[in-house]
Structure 1
Amino acid sequence: MATIKDVARHASVSIATVSRVINEPDKVRELTRKRVETAMQVLSFSRNALAASLVTRRTGCIGLIVPHLAGAFYTPLISTVEQTVRAAGSHLVISCGNSTQDEVLAALRFLKQRSCDAIIVTPGALDQDSLGTLLAAHPNVLVVHRLVPGYEHRCVVVDNHQGALLATEHLIAQGHQRIAAITGPRDNPESADRLRGMLNALIQTGLPVPTSYLYEGDFTQQSGLCGAAALMALPEPPTALFAFNDQMALGVVDYCKRHGVSVPDQLSVMGFDDVEFSDLVSPKLTTIHHPVEAIGKTVGLLALKLAKQQPALGESFVISPSLTLRESVGALN
């Protein structure tokens, strides 16, 4: 069996260089790294991960806790995180099916037992106090989609408030005054931030905010359809409808097609997330672009820093969304 000394001799480098290629490949020049990797392949060299971890105190594994693998957000997020950590020579270990507080904590214990160098958590039903306790106890854990006071340097979030503000201001600029919303669940922090942004835009313009114009959905297409039915049945229905994600916006468009409501001539529809199907529907969906790839890359790089015990103290990871203009919002005649 080939040893690290054999690899160093074959590649004409030092043992220390081979060790860096194995443990910190990003610190080795590409030409040298490729020469060492070629020598490993020729000699069928296999790294002893257990022995290496005892020396480096690292396993080269990054953990990720998510509620599920599918979906317009989690699929590209997981893919981007995996690409980012793999480029640095690490591997991603995923625990999925975690939404409740007990499930998230059980997944955390599972990944800690496997000595992951850093763990990325999408918090699901974990409340702020529980998240604060978790971050205090585990310095190598970071959170996606939740800002925890005192731990901003270990939280990666999109500015949901700013995104909803942009969406609502655009609807107002198009002449709409009767603007309704299909929100997410009332205990969902992202939905709460989006609602706050929408209401701030309306209040700043002096427009009314009738509670009858707020329908609580659950981020599914079916709840968008049901929300549209309820809101359009009002004595004075809205002229614009802001769905807090694109799946619900698609449900609104579906309702309109079933009931002969022209989009955007009779009802303007705004989404949030800019998922891959949003420009495939007819009319193409005007929405807020949720930069999932940027979030995934930021999360991956931050996890790699925490794995090396390099906390990003003083840094903030709030990523700005943007407005994507397509066809589903029109000027009010």
Structure 2
Amino acid sequence: MATIYEVSELAGVSLATVSRVVNKNARVSDKTKEKVLNAMKELGYKPNSIAQSLASNRSNSIGLLVSELHGPFFGAMMSGIEAELRAAGKHTIIASGHSDEKTEQDSIEFLVGRKCDALILHAEAVSDEFLLELSKGTTPFVIINRIVPGIEEHCISLDNEHGGYLATKYLIEKGHTQFAYVSGPNWKKDARDRYAGHLRALAEQGLTQHPKLLVEGNFQQSGGRYGLEQCLSANLPFTALVCGNDEMASGAITRAREADLSVPDDFSIIGFDNIIYADYLFPKLTTIEYPVQKMGQMAAKLILANTYRIETGELTTEFTPRLIERDSCVNL
């Protein structure tokens, strides 16, 4: 196996110059860099990542905590983050928290222990106090979909309340006044915020949400099936079903078809997230876009800019949801 000394001799440069090229140091001319890279290619030289880390005090890896490793929502998030980091020559170490406080803490401590240069966290269950304490350490981090008072500059957020408002306002403008609502888990802030937006839209028109047509779901297809079953069993009229996310909306559409009900002829359905298959459901799902892939990319850009001092263009921490109109809602 070729060594850095052989690369140095073949390229006719010093060991320090080879090291700078390997570690992507800008203080090397393009001509010299090309000579070194050509020598590395000719000799089949592969840099030792451990040695690089020791020399640069960087692991060139970023730890990523997500709630789950499956599903279109987290898949889009991970894809956006990994692509942005890989393009910059960085690698991602992924751990899951399963929306459990102890598991999230253990996963974060694991990533810190792996000497990650920085962390990107989709942390739902750990307390603000835990994250504030984490911010006092030496490992920088960015949080997605959460604002922690005192470290707002670390947080990338979506206005979930406004998204919930947009969904219900859209249906009201179509003439709907009788609503069923399937929320996400009430302990999750984004679920509570979306429902708060729903209530704000109703209140503007002097409308209220009937408690028997309000069901707590789980942000999964099974929650949408269960939610629709509960609403139908209440034997109360509703012309629109608002779901806290697209997965539950898809479950509700499937359950409606099994009950010989037609969407949107019997009732309209709107979701939240605009996951990849929302456009392939029947009917195509009207929803609120949650730009999770772009938010993941932005989290990676913030890490690259602040940790590695890599220019990544314009940075922002606030995202705004928007309505995606398709076929699952009709005018009354």
- Report the TM-score when normalising by structure 2: 0.88
Tell me how far 1:90 sits from its aligned partner.
Answer: 0.9
- Indicate conservation of the 8 Å contact 1:118/1:306, yes or no: no
Change (3 A) 1:174 1:131: same
What residue number does 1:152 align with? 152
Change (3 A) 1:97 1:29: farther
Aligned-pair CA distance for 1:204: 2.0
Q: Within 1, Cα distance between the matches of 2:224 and 2:288?
A: 17
Worse-matched range after superposition: 184-193 or 210-219: 210-219
Q: Structure 1 CA distance, aligned partners of 2:192 and 2:33?
A: 48
Query: What CA deviation, in whole Å up to 9, does each residue of 1:243-262 have, x standing for no partner?
Result: 01111101211122122222
User: What pairs up with 1:286-301 in 2 under 5 angstroms?
Assistant: 286-301=286-301
Q: Give the deviation of 1:40 after TM superposition.
A: 2.1
1:63 paired to 2:63: yes
Match of 1:255 in 2: 255
Is 1:281 paired with 2:281? Answer: yes
Residue number in structure 1 paired with 2:302: 302
Q: Deviations over 1:6-64 (max 9, x none)?
A: 54675677866654543347898999867654432222223233333233221111111
One-letter amino acid of the structure 2 residue matched with residue 234 of structure 1? A
Paired residue type of 1:67: S
CA distance in 1, matches of 2:31, 2:304: 23
2:209 matched to which residue of 1?
A: 209
2:50 aligned with 1:80, yes or no?
no
Secondary structure of the residue aligned to 1:298 is helix
1:30/1:91 Cα in 2 relative to 1: closer, same or farther (>3 Å)?
Answer: farther
CA-to-aligned-CA distance 1:134-184 (integer Å, 9 cap, x gap) = 233355122122111121221122221121111111111101111221001
Q: Is this contact kept in 1: 2:185–2:218, CA < 8 A?
A: yes
Task: Look up the match of 1:128.
Answer: 128
Q: Which residue does 1:271 correspond to in 2?
A: 271
The aligned runs of 1:241-252 (5 Å cut-off) are 241-252=241-252
CA contact (8 A) 2:147 2:155 kept: yes
Task: Structure 1: state its 5+ residue gaps.
Answer: none
How do 1:121-200 and structure 2 match up within 5 A?
Answer: 121-200=121-200
1:316 & 1:81 partners in 2: Cα distance?
A: 15
Q: Larger deviation: 205-214 or 153-162? A: 205-214
2:40 is aligned to: 40
Check conservation: 2:245, 2:272, Cα contact below 8 A: yes
Q: Which secondary structure does the structure 2 equivalent of 1:208 belong to?
A: coil
Residue ranges of structure 2 left out of the alignment (5+ in a row) = none
Asked if the contact 1:25–1:33 (Cα under 8 Å) also holds between the matched residues in 2, the reply is no
Query: Aligned runs of 1:16-55 on 2, under 5 Å?
Result: 18-24=18-24, 36-55=36-55
Instruction: Show the counterpart of 2:108.
Output: 108
Once the two structures are aligned, what percentage of the paired residues are identical? 37
Counterpart of 2:276 in 1: which secondary structure?
coil
SS state of the match for residue 64, structure 1? strand
Cα distance, 1:2 vs structure 2: 4.5
Change in Cα spacing, 1:259 to 1:25, as seen in structure 2 (3 Å) is farther
Are the equivalent residues in 2 in contact too, given 1:158–1:319 (CA < 8 A)? yes
CA distance in 1, matches of 2:165, 2:36: 52
The answer as to whether partners of 2:298 and 2:316 remain within 8 angstroms in 1 is: no
When the two chains are superposed, the root-mean-square deviation of aligned CA atoms in Å is 2.8
Partners of 1:263 and 1:46 in 2: how far apart? 58
Structure 2 SS opposite 1:228: helix
Match of 2:175, SS state, is coil
**1:272-315: CA deviation from partner (whole Å, max 9, x where unpaired):** 111122121211111112212201211111222343379x9xx7
> Which stretch shows the higher mean deviation, 239-248 or 273-282?
273-282
Residue 240 (structure 2) aligns with: 240
Separation in 1, partners of 2:327, 2:256: 15
How many Å separate the matches in 2 of 1:251 and 1:30? 56
Aligned residues: 329
Report the Cα distance in structure 1 between the residues aligned to 2:18 and 2:228, rounded to whole angstroms.
Answer: 62
SS of 1:222's equivalent? helix
* Distance across 2 between alignment mates of 1:13 and 1:326: 61
